[in-house]
Amino acid sequence: MASFKNLEIAPTVANHPRISIKTSLLGLRTKIYYNPTQTEVDCIRNYYTMSSGCAIQQFLLKFQHDPLCAENAKLPIELDDNGCFCLEACSSRDGQFIAIQLFRYNQLAYNSVCEIKIFEGKEAILLKKALAC
């Protein structure tokens, strides 16, 4: 699991009105909660191969216009520690909230492919299931 403080999407997620953040006394541990369900939010950062990253990118574009496409989606997800695509996500454990952004390695850095997308409710559940995050 990735550290929330190290994610590129952290500032946007932290400013979301339905998210609360609690830090420990010494600030060593940060917990993020989705307020409507009081569920803890997990943070991930996964790296993917070129073919998997392109498939995820196409899926996210399609998902924005038709969230129901995730019900039958079979993405060829192949993790690669040195992959050229990086997916950052903050997802509540009950699946009711997900914030996601895809990055691609270009010119010695990971640059965003799309803006951060935040989904709640049924859309979040469908997306979390399709991406297995």
- What pLDDT digit, counting tens, does each position of 5-24 carry? 889 999 999 999 999 999 88
Is the torsion defined by CA of 47, 51, 52, 54 positive or negative?
A: positive
- What pLDDT digit, counting tens, does each position of 79-97 carry? 999 999 999 999 999 999 9
Q: How far apart are CA 100 and CA 13, in angstroms?
A: 10
Taking the whole predicted model, whether its pTM rises above 0.75 is answered as yes
